[in-house]
Amino acid sequence: MSKIWDVAIVGSGPAGSTAAMTLAKAGFKTVLIEKDKLPRYKVCGGAIPQEFVEKMKIPNEIIERKFDSLILHHLGDEIYRKGEGACVWRSDLDKYMTDLAVNANATLLEGSKIIKATSKNQIFTLFTYNSKIQSRILIAADGVPSTILKSFGWKSFPQNDIAQTLTYEIKISEKNIDKRLGETSMHLYFGKKDICDIGYAWLFPKREVISVGWGCELSKIKNVREEFQNFLKIVKNVIHDGKTIKKAAHLVPVGFQNKFNDNGLVAVGDAAGFVDPLSGKGIAYAASSGVIAGKVIKKALEEENKQIISTEYEKELNSEFLKALKAKKKIQPDVYKSDDNIRRFLNLWKDNRSTIIAQKLWDLKDN
Ligand SMILES: Cc1cc2nc3c(=O)[nH]c(=O)nc-3n(C[C@H](O)[C@H](O)[C@H](O)COP(=O)(O)OP(=O)(O)OC[C@H]3O[C@@H](n4cnc5c(N)ncnc54)[C@H](O)[C@@H]3O)c2cc1C
């Protein structure tokens, strides 16, 4: 009879690796399955907050650039916001985090794309092109769109809960990046008139490359290429002599799944929609959801009671970050209603955490 893992996790991004680390550390037979071979390029701005750097003990070698501020551009004006963090390549970050899981005794199956998943008699079966993997619990950490959730009939995100992004990685000398963008600033560009209807664009500098990105809610896009090219024109003084070394498109969820678990199937990270609907940040939430899923599953397996996942997973997510993300989702249409509203929000964000602003505006709306 083939081996039955306690937990199979599909996807070795920040959500999958933290879930694997938590469960393997607790002594469960844990397999982490990744379609690519690590390290692999993953399209992402790679900006992570300082708390995450410290919590995950991110080593200096993989930090491309530290930052201490965000420059918020809006229709030609600049607003300065303090904000500490680091910019990394996801190839390095994800390899580092996956190694933590492997060192904790998780088994990593790289280059193994799951094409379908089924369940019968409380056992999940995952199919690659040439093998089968079985487990008692299954974690969907495979981002968007999620093959795993689709296999079990979960709905894909509607157009107003998903953003389309485009990225160019543009190589420029470190000296020129420092001169043109400042050594320690990330740049975000907002504006319904010149950037996009609901979303924003960014220049996130690594050491010798600028990740030039643009993201807009899918339902609001008129012409992706044209809108992205307009942004490139706006920042041409920064990138004009750079060499484009990579072009990539990817989706980001800006809304949530209707449920986060179902009878031993647990969704984490982007697959569940755990991304800040205002900023598109998702790395830290993905990692946090992986840890929470790991802890709740540990309890369920120890007590041989899967019901624990249903009663505790969402509760834990809410108290850690999900309640705040829901508030942001609720105020997002108002923030992006007009350029005046965007400016008001940016002026508040300048001195306050977006979570606090969202919570206050949400409370005002409800009362
Ligand atoms: C352009 C862009 C810029 C972004 N910038 C930032 C940023 O600066 N800061 C930030 O915090 N967030 C950013 N995000 C969001 C962030 O990238 C995600 O929220 C985060 O990667 C989610 O992590 P995850 O582990 O849930 O999924 P992912 O990181 O997407 O990982 C999923 C993994 O599953 C694997 N996989 C998928 N399907 C299968 C399959 N069938 N079988 C096996 N393996 C599979 C994939 O190869 C991948 O390794 C950005 C996103 C985009 C698109």
Q: How far is the centre of ligand 1, averaged over its atoms, from the C-alpha of 143 (Å)? A: 5
What pLDDT does residue 85 have? 98
What pLDDT does residue 367 have? 54
Q: How far is the centre of ligand 1, averaged over its atoms, from the C-alpha of 305 (Å)? A: 30
Give the chain's mean pLDDT. 96
How do residues 79-110 score in pLDDT, each as one tens digit? 999 999 999 999 999 999 999 999 999 999 99
What pLDDT does residue 109 have? 98
pLDDT band at 361 (very low <50, low <70, confident <90, very high): confident
pLDDT band at 133 (very low <50, low <70, confident <90, very high): very high
Q: Which two tokens stand for residue 101?
A: 């899981």
Q: How far is the centre of ligand 1, averaged over its atoms, from the C-alpha of 206 (Å)? A: 18
Using the predicted structure, report yes or no on whether residue 192 has a pLDDT greater than 60.
yes
How do residues 150-189 score in pLDDT, each as one tens digit? 999 999 999 999 999 999 999 999 999 999 999 999 999 9
Backbone region of residue 218 per phi and psi (left: phi > 0; alpha: psi in -120 to 50; beta: other values): alpha
Locate the ligand 1 atom nearest the alpha carbon of residue 17 and give its number.
Answer: 25
Q: How far is the centre of ligand 1, averaged over its atoms, from the C-alpha of 223 (Å)? A: 24
User: In this structure, are residues 98 and 15 in contact, taking their beta carbons and an 8 Å threshold?
Assistant: no
Q: Is residue 179 helix, strand or coil?
A: helix
How do residues 42-69 score in pLDDT, each as one tens digit? 999 999 999 999 999 999 999 999 999 9
Domains 4-42+91-156+258-332 and 47-88+159-253 share a fold: no
Q: How far is the centre of ligand 1, averaged over its atoms, from the C-alpha of 336 (Å)? A: 25
**Residues paired with residue 85 on neighbouring β-strands, in sequence order:** 49, 67
What pLDDT does residue 99 have? 98
Using the predicted structure, report yes or no on whether residue 331 has a pLDDT greater than 60.
yes
| Nearest Cα residue to atom 2 of ligand 1 | 44
Residue to probe by mutation, ligand 1, list 55, 135, 252, 254, most atoms within 8 Å of CB: 252
Q: Where are the beta strands (DSSP E) in 172-327?
A: 185-190, 199-205, 209-217, 243-253, 261-262, 265-267
From the CA atom positions of the chain, what is the Rg in Å?
21
Using the predicted structure, report yes or no on whether residue 19 has a pLDDT greater than 70.
yes
Pocket of ligand 1 (CB under 6 A): 10-16, 33-36, 42-48, 113-114, 141-143, 147, 165, 167, 204, 213, 250, 252, 269-270, 275, 280-284, 286
What pLDDT does residue 317 have? 98
Domain 4-42+91-156+258-332 belongs in CATH node 3.50.50.60: yes
Using the predicted structure, report yes or no on whether residue 1 has a pLDDT greater than 60.
no
Q: Where are the beta strands (DSSP E) in the chain?
A: 4-10, 30-33, 47-49, 63-74, 77-88, 107-109, 116-120, 123-127, 132-140, 162-171, 185-190, 199-205, 209-217, 243-253, 261-262, 265-267
Question: Hey, where are the domains in the chain?
Answer: 4-42+91-156+258-332, 47-88+159-253
Locate the ligand 1 atom nearest the alpha carbon of residue 142 and give its number.
Answer: 34
Q: How far is the centre of ligand 1, averaged over its atoms, from the C-alpha of 15 (Å)? A: 9
How do residues 256-314 score in pLDDT, each as one tens digit? 999 999 999 999 999 999 999 999 999 999 999 999 999 999 999 999 999 999 999 99
Q: Which two tokens stand for residue 98?
A: 């996956």
How do residues 200-243 score in pLDDT, each as one tens digit? 999 999 999 999 999 999 999 999 999 999 999 999 999 999 99
Using the predicted structure, report yes or no on whether residue 22 has a pLDDT greater than 60.
yes
What pLDDT does residue 364 have? 72
Looking at the structure, give the CATH architecture of the domain made up of residues 47-88+159-253.
2-Layer Sandwich (3.30)
Residue to probe by mutation, ligand 1, list 17, 38, 44, 130, most atoms within 8 Å of CB: 44
- Give the whole-number percent of the chain exceeding pLDDT 70: 99
Mean pLDDT of 131-154: 98
- Give the whole-number percent of the chain exceeding pLDDT 90: 96
pLDDT band at 359 (very low <50, low <70, confident <90, very high): confident
